[in-house]
């Protein structure tokens, strides 16, 4: 058995590693936190609808027609979806019936859908309008509001009984 004696002269003047102040770890933690916050800000700006701000175009006049097979440049798909210069726009805050006879309202829904689509076509072709965009929906359509003289076209269609508020309106065509 060997005995190790404490020798005061061999003791280091530096404190042991465990007692030293670690300055690297807090600095790395701050850098990591700033990186995560920056990435979160970029992701929110890119992926949230509208990215926090709307884009408004100036007043325009464009000639639309009803969309046909393969025609998807500047046309009306239905009462709440259009193509404008190759961009698919889902007009938000209102909903119109779908022009398919196998949906809940059958032939009556199809007839109302055609009236809503024709009215939107007439509104767009008869007036200058502005477009305000707000990001995209789950189908990768650009969410938009179209205003004629400051009034949302959805409000016009709702007041004429051709659409309902979305998402809280009653689906009256079913």
Strands (E), 5-129: 55-56, 65-66, 75-78, 81-84, 87-91, 94-95
Region of residue 86 (phi > 0: left; psi between -120 and 50: alpha; otherwise: beta): left
Per-residue pLDDT of the chain (174 residues; tens, 9 = 90+): 666 665 656 555 555 555 556 677 777 776 766 666 566 655 554 444 445 456 666 799 999 999 987 778 999 999 999 999 999 999 999 999 988 877 787 888 999 999 999 999 999 999 999 999 999 999 999 999 999 999 999 999 999 999 999 888 777 877
């Amino acid at each position: 058995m060997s005995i190790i004696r404490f020798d005061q002269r061999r003791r280091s003047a530096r404190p042991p590693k465990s007692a030293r102040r670690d300055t690297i770890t807090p600095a790395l933690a701050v850098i990591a936190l700033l990186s995560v916050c920056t990435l979160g800000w970029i992701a929110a700006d890119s992926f949230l609808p509208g990215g926090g701000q709307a884009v408004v175009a100036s007043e325009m006049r464009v000639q639309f027609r009803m969309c046909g097979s393969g025609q998807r440049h500047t046309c009306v798909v239905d009462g709440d979806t259009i193509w404008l210069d190759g961009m698919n726009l889902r007009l938000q805050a209102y909903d119109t019936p779908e022009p398919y006879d196998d949906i809940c309202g059958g032939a009556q829904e199809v007839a109302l859908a055609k009236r809503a689509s024709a009215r939107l076509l007439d509104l767009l072709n008869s007036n200058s309008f502005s477009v305000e965009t707000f990001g995209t929906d789950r189908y990768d359509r650009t969410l938009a509001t179209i205003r004629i003289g400051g009034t949302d076209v959805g409000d016009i269609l709702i007041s004429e009984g051709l659409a309902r508020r979305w998402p809280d309106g009653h689906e009256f065509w079913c």
